[in-house]
Amino acid sequence: MYFIWYIIIGIIAGFVAGKIMRGGGFGLLINLLVGIVGGLLGGWVFGLLGIATAGILGNLITSVVGAILLLWIVSLFRKPRIS
């Protein structure tokens, strides 16, 4: 059951991160996947920094931070679009 919660939190985190990173988003579906991976990344980074979160809100914050970090890293390697 916890696995489903992690996916739901990751999806929400990806959506929020996509909205925060206005120009760094890649569309709804990719941002949702980024949120799931960002949850793992955020947990790893918070662990390195010695930050512990608890509850659904703490997991959501961790996932959003990880998703924003992942979107930022991916945007560094993305070719700029010519408008």
Q: Is residue 82 part of a domain?
A: no
> Looking at the domain assignment, is residue 83 inside a domain?
no
pLDDT band, residue 25 (cuts 50/70/90): low
- pTM of this structure: 0.77
Range of the domain at 53: 2-77
Calculate the average pLDDT of the chain: 79
For 22, counting Cβ atoms within 10 Å of its Cβ (0-12 exposed, 13-18 middle, 19+ buried), the class is exposed
Percent of the chain with pLDDT over 90: 1
Residue 11 is assigned to a structural domain of this protein: yes
Domain annotation covers residue 7: yes
Domain total of the chain: 1
Kindly give the residue spans of alpha helices, DSSP state H, lying in 1-83.
2-20, 28-49, 55-77
Sequence-ordered list of residues with C-beta below 8 angstroms from that of 12, at least 6 positions apart, any chain: 35, 60, 63
Q: What integer is the mean pLDDT of 56-79?
A: 83
